[in-house]
Amino acid sequence: MSVPEDLAPVYALEMPPQDPRPHITPYEVISHNYRDNRYKRWLDTGDDANAAQRRYSNDFFFVNSTPKFRLSRSHKFFAIGSCFARNIERELAAQGIACLTAGTNIPAEFYSGDRDARAAMNKFNIPSMIDELERTFNPAHREPGRYIGVGENEYFDPATSGIKLLPLEQHAIVRDSIRETTSRMAEADVVIITLGLVEAWFDRPSGLFLNTSPHPRAMQQEARRVKAEGPNGQPSRFVHMRPNFAFLRDKMHRLIQLVSTYAPKAKVVLSVSPVPLQATMTADDVVMSSSLSKSQLRVVAEDARDSFNHVDYFPSYEMVMNSPRAETWEDDEIHVKPSLVSQVTSAFVKGWID
């Protein structure tokens, strides 16, 4: 399906094209890898505790990773991305490691339920992360109004997560808190980016990708308007998109470029959130759509790891997805148990941080 004319600029690619060269490994490197990689085998052909087959018998599936760079306990960490990023932050803080998002001051009554104080900062797609950095750091950044009115002095902010319908003055409080917290990224030695989802909504009037689905009342209002205006009226303001790899790679490189501009001393550690897609807007089974989303993001993360010397990948996704379900998931089969998050974070600290 072709992209509508008014949305074509959204899909314009900004970054250099992908380098088509394959990975070519010299024989001497292959020999070294085969000799020294204790985690190279899937089948346990003897008494091999590191074989993947054996690791499946454990309560926690450890995945070995060799960092491109070492980190320090004295470093300052900043996390951006999906809700799994908040889990990692809490565990790092519990181990005495400085997390720059600590102290985010968003009133609990502004949330739609019992949530982490930083939940409004969750960013589920790459364009939303780019948007947040531009809003915070770029003094030339200008944007049309993004708050979507759904009732008398009731507005929805599609750039946040978990926030109720609020008056504009209360949204301003949330926005100021998010901006203040995000600005601390400039101090970071390490930026952890947790990639969440691929499916996303785009808002024609603001020209922005939404961080979450449009509020149901906003969708209902828009459906009534489109029906009343008929086929000759304006198209729906909300457009659902499932971006392709070229778009995702382009935006991933743009995001890293921004992080490197606004946090110039920071190393970047990428991860993919194991939290599945809660609902798909496509005709596919939600399990298929979620698998596609995570697969695309995993490839995007690997491409970034290959493309930038200061970017690496930590396999938290693989650890969670290969651990026993009974030990991994809460009853909703969506959220990861805190005990498993603690094990993942401990593996990161032990393997990556001096």
Task: Write the pLDDT tens digit of every residue in 122-143.
Answer: 999 999 999 999 999 998 877 6
For the residues 241-264, what does the mean pLDDT come to? 96
In a domain, 37, yes or no: no
* Cβ-based neighbours of 87, under 8 Å, separated by 6 or more: 336, 338, 341, 345
Is beta strand 238-241 parallel, antiparallel or unpaired with respect to 200-203? Answer: antiparallel
In a domain, 338, yes or no: yes
pLDDT of 23 reads: 81
| Radius of gyration of the chain, Cα coordinates, nearest whole angstrom | 21
Q: How many residues does the chain have?
A: 354
3-state SS string over the chain?
Answer: CCCCHHHHHHHCCCCCCCCCCCCCCCHHHHHHHHHHCCCCCCCCCCCCCCCHHHHCCCCCCCCCCCCCCCECCCCCEEEEECHHHHHHHHHHHHCCCCECCCCCCCCHHHECCCCCCCHHHCCCCHHHHHHHHHHHHCCCCCCCCCCEEEECCEEECCCCCCECCECHHHHHHHHHHHHHHHHHHHHCCEEEEEECCCCEEEECCCCEECCCCCCHHHHHHHHHHHHHHCCCCCCCCEEEECCCHHHHHHHHHHHHHHHHHHCCCCEEEEEECCCCCCCCCCCCCHHHHHHHHHHHHHHHHHHHHHHCCCEEECCHHHHHHHCCHHHHECCCCCCECHHHHHHHHHHHHHHHEC
Closest CA to 205 of 160, 125, 146: 146
In a domain, 87, yes or no: yes
197 close to 125: Cβ distance less than 8 angstroms: yes
Instruction: Look at 150 and 105; give whichever has higher pLDDT.
Output: 150
Closest CA to 160 of 143, 147, 169: 147
17 close to 251: Cβ distance less than 8 angstroms: no
For the residues 268-289, what does the mean pLDDT come to? 95
For the residues 200-225, what does the mean pLDDT come to? 92
Distance CA 82, CA 84 (A): 5
Distance CA 276, CA 287 (A): 8
Task: Write the pLDDT tens digit of every residue in 15-39.
Answer: 888 877 778 889 999 999 999 999 9
In a domain, 96, yes or no: yes
| CATH number of the domain residue 340 falls in | 3.40.50.1110
Amino acid at 127: P
Total structural domains within the chain: 1
Tokens representing residue 317 in the block: 């996704």
Sheet arrangement for strand 208-209: 208-209, 200-203, 238-241
Distance CA 267, CA 71 (A): 9
pLDDT of 83 reads: 80
Instruction: Name which of 12-21, 41-50, 338-347 the model is least confident about.
Output: 12-21
pLDDT of 1 reads: 59
Distance CA 159, CA 271 (A): 21
- Residue at token pair 């531009």: 134
Instruction: Provide the domain limits for residue 315.
Output: 58-100+188-199+243-354
Out of 14-28, 80-94, 174-188, give the one with best mean pLDDT: 174-188
In a domain, 211, yes or no: no
Tokens representing residue 210 in the block: 């939404």
Closest CA to 65 of 310, 316, 241: 316
pLDDT band at 144 (very low <50, low <70, confident <90, very high): low
Task: Write the pLDDT tens digit of every residue in 299-331.
Answer: 999 999 999 999 999 999 999 999 999 999 999
In a domain, 157, yes or no: no
What angle is formed at CA 98 by the lines to CA 186 and CA 197, rounded to 5 degrees? 70
In a domain, 78, yes or no: yes
In a domain, 295, yes or no: yes
